[in-house]
A and B are shown apart, each in its own frame.
Chain A
Amino acid sequence: MINGEHRRVPPGTSLAQLIAEVGLDPQRVAVERNLEIVPRSTFGQVMVEDGDAYEIVHFVGGG
C-alpha cells in the first residue's frame, strides 16, 4: 500500500527502487513504513515486504 493505494512490486525491491519507480525525487519526500519513519539514508537498504503500508509525503502550500 502506498498512500492508501495498492501496488504490486517484484520480490527483492528496495524502498529506493520503489520511490524511483513511482517517479519521485527521494530528496523531496519523507517516508513512513508501517507507522515508523524510514530515514532517507536507509532507503537503499530497506526491502519492500508483502503487506507493507507506506506513507510518502512532501511539503505543499499551507497556512
Chain B
Amino acid sequence: MNVQSPVGADTWSVAGRSFTSRLIVGTGKYKDFEQNAAAVEASGAQIVTVAVRRVNVSDPKQPMLVDYIDPKKITYLPNTAGCFTAEEAIRTLRLAREAGGWDLVKLEVLGEAKTLYPDMRETLRATETLANEGFKPMVYCVDDPIAAKQLEEAGAVAIMPLGAPIGSGLGIQNLVTIRLIVEGAKVPVLVDAGVGTASDAAVAMELGCDGVLMNTAIAEAKDPVMMARAMKLAVESGRLAYLSGRMAKRKYADPSSPLAGLI
C-alpha cells in the first residue's frame, strides 16, 4: 500500500472486482425508494445489499427497488437475511444468482431472533457449499479470529464480523478481536453491523478494516441523506488515519511548543 497515494487511488478488491468506496450500505428501513436512492448517492457507495423476497403476485406493478437504484451502476449484493439454516441461505442465494446473474453474495445465517447473532456452525457449512458451487460469499460472522480463519479456509471472499448486534447502533464493542481478524486475514475484512454513528465507522477503518457495511445507522437517522454523507466522510477519514500511521500513545503530557528560548 502506497501511503503517499491520494485517497482517490486507494482501491480495494473483492473476488476480482475493484471498488473505490469502502462503504457498503443497506437498502432496508427507508421511508421510501426516493430517500433510499438519495442516501445511496450521498454515501458514495458502489455496493448495496438487497434482500430476496417473493414478488407480490396480486400487485405485480408496484414500484421496485431496481427502478430507483440501477443495478448496472451500483453492485447489488444479495443477502440471506432472515435465514436460520444453511439450506435456507443456500436456496435463497441460488435464486439471487438466477435473478441477478451475480455470484458475489452476502451470506448470513442467524442463530436466534433476539440477538440476530450468527450461527457459526451453519454459516461455515453454507460457506463451504456456496464456494463449491462457484459463489463468492462475503460472510457475516462473529468477531472471532479463529472463526474468521475457518471461514476464509472454507472459501469466504470477505470476512464481515459484527461490531455489535444488527440494528443496535452500539458501535464496535471489541476493538481487540476486530484488529486480530484484520491482522490474520488474507481476504478483505469489513465490519458489518453495529455502527451507530460516524465515529463508529471511523474506528472500524482506523483498525485497518477494508470497509464498513451499514444500514440502520443511515436509514434511522433523522436525516438519512445527511448521515449517509457523514458516513462517507468518516470511512474516508478513518482510512486516511489508518494509512497515515497514528502517533504513539503516551502516559503523560508532551509539550508541542519548544521549551528552548522560554522567556
Within 8 A of A (CB), among B6-56: 26-30, 33, 36, 49-55
Q: A37 touching B215 by the CB < 8 A rule?
A: no
Instruction: Please name all residues of chain A whose beta carbon is closer than 8 Å to the beta carbon of B33 when the two chains form the complex.
Output: 61
- Given A22-B57, A24-B60, A30-B96, verify A60-B65 contact (CB < 8 Å): yes
State whether the Cβ of A28 lies closer than 8 Å to any Cβ in chain B: yes
Could you mark each residue 1-29 of chain A with 1 if its beta carbon is under 8 Å from any beta carbon of chain B, else 0? Answer: 01111010000000000000011100011
Interface of B is mostly: mixed
Interface flag for A62 (CB, 8 Å): yes
Known contacts A30-B98, A32-B95; A63 and B30 CB within 8 A of each other: no
Q: What number of B residues sit within 8 Å (CB to CB) of A?
A: 40
Question: What CA separation (Å) do A49 and B36 show in the bound complex?
Answer: 40
B79 within 8 A of A: yes
Bound Cα distance from A4 to B214, whole angstroms: 32
B78 A59 Cβ-Cβ under 8 A: yes
Contact A56 B55 (CB under 8 A): yes
Contact B81 A62 (CB under 8 A): yes
Residues of B86-125 contacting chain A, CB below 8 A: 91, 94-100
A28 engages B99 (CB within 8 Å): yes
Query: What is the CB-to-nearest-CB distance from B166 to chain A, in angstroms, rounded to a whole number?
Result: 7
Cα distance, A62 to B119, chains bound together (Å): 20
Q: A39-B98, A59-B99 are in contact. Are A29 and B50 (CB under 8 A)?
A: no
* Contact between A60 and B53, CB atoms less than 8 A apart: yes
> Is B197's beta carbon under 8 Å from chain A?
no
Contact among B30, B91, B94 with A61 in the assembled complex (CB-CB below 8 Å): B30
A3, B60: Cα distance in complex, Å: 13
Neighbouring A residues of B253 by C-beta, 8 Å: none
Contact A5 B53 (CB under 8 A): no
Chain B residues whose C-beta falls within 8 Å of the C-beta of A61 in the assembled complex:
26-30, 33, 36, 50-51, 65
B29, A59: Cβ atoms closer than 8 Å: no
| CB-based contact B50/A60 at 8 Å | yes
Contact A3/B79 with A55-B95, A59-B100, A62-B28 known, Cβ cut-off 8 Å: no
Residue in B29, B36, B54, B76 whose beta carbon sits within 8 Å of that of A55 in the complex: B54
- Identify A60's interface contact among B51, B57, B58, B71, CB under 8 A: B51
Pick the most buried of B49, B55, B99, B100: most chain A CB atoms within 10 A of its CB.
B55
A residues at B contact (CB < 8 Å): 2-5, 7, 22-24, 28-32, 35, 37-40, 55-63
User: With contacts A3-B55, A35-B91, A62-B26 known, what are 11 further pairs, Cβ within 8 A?
Assistant: A3-B54, A22-B60, A24-B55, A28-B99, A57-B99, A58-B53, A59-B51, A59-B71, A62-B49, A62-B215, A63-B27
